Amino acid sequence: MSVIDEIKRRRTFAIISHPDAGKTTLTEKLLLYGGAIHLAGSVKARKTSRYAVSDWMEIEKQRGISVTSSVLNFDYEGCRVNILDTPGHADFSEDTYRTLMAVDSAVMVIDVAKGVETQTKKLFKVCSSRGIPIFTFVNKIDHFGKNPFDLMSDIEEVLGIRSCPMNWPIGINGNYVGIYDRETNTAFIFIKDNAHGTKKLQVVSGKLDDSSIMELLDEEVLESLKSDLELLDEAGDPFNMDKISAGKLTPMFFGSAMTNFGVEPFLKRFLKLAPPPTERKTLEGSISPDNSDFSGFIFKIQANMDPKHHDRIAFMRICSGIFEKGLSVLHRQSGKNIRLSQPQQFLATERVSIEEAYPGDIIGIFDTGELGVGDTVCTKKHPVTFSDFPVFPPELFARLSPMSSMKRKQFLRGVNQLAQEGAIQVYSQPYVMESFIIGAVGQLQFEVLRYRLEKEYNVDVRIESLPYTTARWTASNALPEDLVGTDNALVVYDAKKRPVYLLPNEWQAGWLVERNPNIEFLDTPPMI
Ligand code: G4P
């Protein structure tokens, strides 16, 4: 197969949702239809990670499984499908946002009874700000749900995107009995059972005037469906691939992941419509996937997959060129040449060694500590820098120190490695050697840090909360000498040695900005 054909058949996407809408279940079902094995345990196991640190610890016992299932690939009907899983808990949203940088499209799962929820809204914003095409899967239609027109308005009002239903639920007053496929004009009626979604639903399909279908639908349901379809044809947004690709229109599918209803047709249609890898922006201009010069970026680092060996896997999205085992590349951030050794790909519960990978693929490479999240690798001949990585300013700060000064070496190594992984933000204070200031988006990140330092580095730590909730950087990256209004601020340095002012609240931050009109302040670190 030619390189162009290899690129064209790749579909790299993430599934996003508010917790409980059915992301895990849908992922599992896509794997089921994709023929991936041992899936029930692997995907389900990750689910609890969003609840509490105790569950997270439980998951960590099965670390190999939880990590390998964070990127999965399989072949389906000629497509190479790469699904990037994302943590559901809001405290880990930074991880999710970074993962979204590596996809070409996203599937947004919505609970038919609940509509658009808060976490969906946040994740949607990240996708839409990057112009990522979004496909909507309205889940759980085996249950009572909202009126589909109301869901469409909900999507438009809350998310600001118009939707184009590809199929339509059949039923009235929220009691659904099936879906109608608008492309083939076929009705699929499920036969409800008492298995509460644990079994695959029996399905009858046919045209609306087929006797088998007419038998199952009473007059009122049929009339309501027909009038809905007419209204959609007249007033709904027509299917428009350009708008979909630009992230301005979302194709909408209804189904039930739990009972498999509508999942396979969704997968088939989605793979036809979802974009293959396209050109990506770099600081030096766009780079097309069919450019023969290799380029890629690291969007996730997972340390200690095997705690005995302290190994680190860097997850890389390939953006152009062909990856071959042992490829030597330029690490843009350090300017050094590095060899990408032991490349791996992930199949359900197992890792496999790979010889070759193409744009759109995600590969895991063993890293000896050189790579960081957001880093670019490319060729010397065609140096590029992928830069638009979102940075989320921490809202919680604490002082981190080892319980015992005897463990200083392990402490430093652990903190450095976990900071490089992007698990936490670490700041240093001038002349303070025994402790660090740490910043996080959610409390759970602190707890996971404590747990991992103890388990993976054998260091017990003290985490003391600090009364700061916001941070400011300066555009110049320098510490202005004539700064005023910093009485309540703590000056620290981030990992790139840039000064950062930690402030108790937004009001104080506003005060600092107001008192120093000649200085440009930023609420996220300056992009380089
Ligand atoms: P998440 O990853 O988005 O958080 O959601 P997840 O798939 O874990 O699903 C959340 C709950 O919704 C689960 O129930 C799951 O079984 C159920 N669910 C998912 N899809 C459907 C569907 O199509 N129909 C119905 N009726 N339920 C669905 P749970 O009780 O929390 O877990 P479990 O006991 O089933 O494991």
What DSSP string describes 368-391?
SS---TT-EEE-SSS---------
CA 406 to CA 241: how far, in whole Å? 62
Q: Whose CA is nearest to atom 9 of ligand 1?
A: 22
Instruction: Give the confidence band of 164 by pLDDT, cuts at 50, 70, 90.
Output: very high
**CB burial class (10 A; 0-12, 13-18, 19+) of residue 410?**
middle
CA-CA-CA-CA dihedral for 20, 299, 30, 66, to nearest 10: -70
The pTM (predicted TM-score) of the whole model is 0.83
How many other β-carbons are positioned within 10 Å of the β-carbon of residue 455? Answer: 13
**Best residue for ligand 1 mutational test, from 17, 20, 49, 253 (most atoms within 8 Å of Cβ):** 20
Q: Whose CA is nearest to atom 17 of ligand 1?
A: 22
- CA angle, residues 447, 345, 94, in degrees to nearest 5: 30
Ligand 1 atom nearest residue 255's Cα: 23
What DSSP string describes 383-448?
------------SEEEEEEES-GGGHHHHHHHHHHHHHTTSSEEEB-TT--S-EEEEESSHHHHHH
Query: Which has the minimum average pLDDT: 29-43, 172-186, 284-298?
Result: 29-43
How many angstroms separate the Cα of 339 from the Cα of each of 98, 304, 368? 24, 20, 11
- Taking the centre of ligand 1 as the mean of its atom positions, its distance from the CA of residue 23, in whole angstroms, is 8
Note whether 394 and 439 are within 8 A (CB): yes
CA 146 to CA 77: how far, in whole Å? 34
Ligand 1 atom nearest residue 21's Cα: 3
**CB burial class (10 A; 0-12, 13-18, 19+) of residue 335?**
exposed
Which amino acid type is present at position 378? Answer: C
User: Average pLDDT of the chain?
Assistant: 86
Q: Whose CA is nearest to atom 14 of ligand 1?
A: 20
**CB burial class (10 A; 0-12, 13-18, 19+) of residue 483?**
middle
Percentage of the chain surpassing pLDDT 70? Answer: 87
Q: Whose CA is nearest to atom 30 of ligand 1?
A: 20
Q: Whose CA is nearest to atom 15 of ligand 1?
A: 22
Q: What is the pLDDT of residues 86-138, one digit of tens each?
A: 765 666 667 778 888 999 999 999 999 999 998 888 889 888 888 899 999 99
CA 142 to CA 258: how far, in whole Å? 9
- Taking the centre of ligand 1 as the mean of its atom positions, its distance from the CA of residue 28, in whole angstroms, is 11
CA 294 to CA 383: how far, in whole Å? 9
* Mean pLDDT within 362-381: 88
Q: What is the pLDDT of residues 183-242, one digit of tens each?
A: 999 999 988 777 665 666 788 999 999 999 998 998 999 999 999 999 999 989 999 999
Closest CA to 253 of 346, 171, 151: 151
Query: Which has the minimum average pLDDT: 12-16, 48-52, 109-113, 403-407?
Result: 48-52
- Taking the centre of ligand 1 as the mean of its atom positions, its distance from the CA of residue 255, in whole angstroms, is 13
Note whether 155 and 163 are within 8 A (CB): yes
- Taking the centre of ligand 1 as the mean of its atom positions, its distance from the CA of residue 24, in whole angstroms, is 8
- Taking the centre of ligand 1 as the mean of its atom positions, its distance from the CA of residue 26, in whole angstroms, is 9
Q: Whose CA is nearest to atom 36 of ligand 1?
A: 44
- Taking the centre of ligand 1 as the mean of its atom positions, its distance from the CA of residue 20, in whole angstroms, is 6
Q: What is the pLDDT of residues 237-273, one digit of tens each?
A: 999 999 999 999 999 999 999 888 999 899 999 999 9
Two tokens, residue 245: 């690709």
- Taking the centre of ligand 1 as the mean of its atom positions, its distance from the CA of residue 257, in whole angstroms, is 8
- Taking the centre of ligand 1 as the mean of its atom positions, its distance from the CA of residue 45, in whole angstroms, is 13
CA 16 to CA 76: how far, in whole Å? 21
* Mean pLDDT within 464-476: 93
- Taking the centre of ligand 1 as the mean of its atom positions, its distance from the CA of residue 419, in whole angstroms, is 33
- Taking the centre of ligand 1 as the mean of its atom positions, its distance from the CA of residue 149, in whole angstroms, is 24
- Taking the centre of ligand 1 as the mean of its atom positions, its distance from the CA of residue 123, in whole angstroms, is 20
Ligand 1 — pocket residues by CB below 6 A? 17, 19-25, 47, 88, 139-140, 142-143, 197, 256-259
Two tokens, residue 348: 């359900």
Q: What is the pLDDT of residues 355-368, one digit of tens each?
A: 889 999 998 888 87
User: Given this model, what pLDDT does residue 250 score?
Assistant: 97
pLDDT for residue 46 is more than 60: no
Ligand 1 atom nearest residue 143's Cα: 26
Widest Cα–Cα separation across the chain: 84
**Best residue for ligand 1 mutational test, from 110, 253, 258 (most atoms within 8 Å of Cβ):** 258
The tally of CA atoms less than 13 A away on the side-chain side of residue 357 is 30
**Best residue for ligand 1 mutational test, from 16, 24, 25 (most atoms within 8 Å of Cβ):** 25
pLDDT for residue 39 is more than 70: no
Q: Whose CA is nearest to atom 32 of ligand 1?
A: 20
Q: Whose CA is nearest to atom 21 of ligand 1?
A: 258
- Taking the centre of ligand 1 as the mean of its atom positions, its distance from the CA of residue 84, in whole angstroms, is 19
User: Given this model, what pLDDT does residue 497 score?
Assistant: 87
* Mean pLDDT within 313-334: 91
